[in-house]
C-alpha cells in the first residue's frame, strides 16, 4: 500500500465528526451507538486527540485524558480496516503518549478489553490492582451548591443518612 499520503495530526479542530462516527462504526463494535453529539462532548473533554489521514479521509483516531502529572488514560484507538497492520495504531498511541499533556504522567491507564497483545508490544502491562467502575453515573449536575450557596443543607442531609 502506498502510504505517502498518510499524515498524523494533533489538531483537535481538524476532527471531522461524521468521519469519526463512520470510523467507530467500521471498526469498533463496542461503540457503534455513539452519537455525533456525544462524540463532540468526548472530544471537548479529551486531550490529546490524534488523528490519521489519507489525504482527506480520516483513517485513524486515538484520544486521551490526563491531569498532566500523575495519571493519564488512553481511549478509543481506532484504525480503519484497510489500514490495519501498517503500524498506524502503534504510532497513534506513541503520539498520544509523547504529547505534552501525557509525557510526564507517572502512570498511563488503557481502557481496553481487546487487542491486549498489541498494547503489550507497546509497553503496557496488565494491571493486577483493584479497579472499580461506576457503570451509569446517576448523580445530578445540580446536586452540589453553586458558588455562593451554602453546603449546610447538604451536610445535614448527609448526617441523617449516616446515622
Look at residue 58 in the predicted model and tell me its pLDDT: 98
Q: Where are the beta strands (DSSP E) in the chain?
A: 6-9, 49-54, 57-66, 71-79, 107-110
Residue boundaries of the structural domains of the chain: 6-127
Q: Write down the pTM of the prediction.
A: 0.79
Give domain 6-127's CATH architecture.
Answer: 3-Layer(aba) Sandwich (3.40)
What is the full per-residue pLDDT of the chain (163 aa) written as tens digits? 777 889 999 999 999 999 999 999 999 888 888 999 999 999 999 999 999 999 999 999 999 999 999 999 999 999 999 999 999 999 999 999 999 999 999 999 987 777 888 888 888 888 777 676 666 666 665 555 555 565 566 556 555 545 5
**Cell 471498526 sits on residue:** 27
Q: In the chain, what is the greatest distance between 2 CA atoms, to the nearest angstrom?
A: 69
- Distance between CA atoms of 62 and 2, rounded to whole angstroms? 22
Amino acid at each position: 500500500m502506498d502510504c505517502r499520503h498518510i499524515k498524523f495530526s494533533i489538531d483537535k479542530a481538524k476532527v471531522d465528526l461524521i468521519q469519526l462516527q463512520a470510523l467507530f462504526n467500521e471498526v469498533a463494535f463496542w461503540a457503534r451507538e455513539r452519537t455525533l453529539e456525544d462524540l463532540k462532548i468526548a472530544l471537548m473533554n479529551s486531550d490529546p486527540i490524534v488523528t490519521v489521514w489519507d489525504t482527506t479521509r480520516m483513517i485513524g483516531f486515538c484520544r486521551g485524558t490526563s491531569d498532566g502529572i500523575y495519571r493519564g488514560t488512553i481511549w478509543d484507538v481506532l484504525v480503519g480496516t484497510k489500514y490495519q497492520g501498517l503500524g498506524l495504531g502503534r504510532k497513534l498511541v506513541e503520539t498520544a503518549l509523547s504529547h505534552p499533556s501525557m509525557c510526564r504522567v507517572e502512570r498511563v491507564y488503557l481502557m481496553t478489553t481487546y487487542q491486549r497483545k498489541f498494547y503489550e508490544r507497546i509497553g503496557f502491562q496488565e494491571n493486577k490492582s483493584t479497579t472499580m467502575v461506576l457503570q451509569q453515573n446517576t448523580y445530578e449536575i445540580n446536586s452540589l451548591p453553586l458558588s455562593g450557596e451554602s453546603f449546610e443543607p447538604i451536610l445535614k442531609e448527609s448526617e441523617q443518612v449516616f446515622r
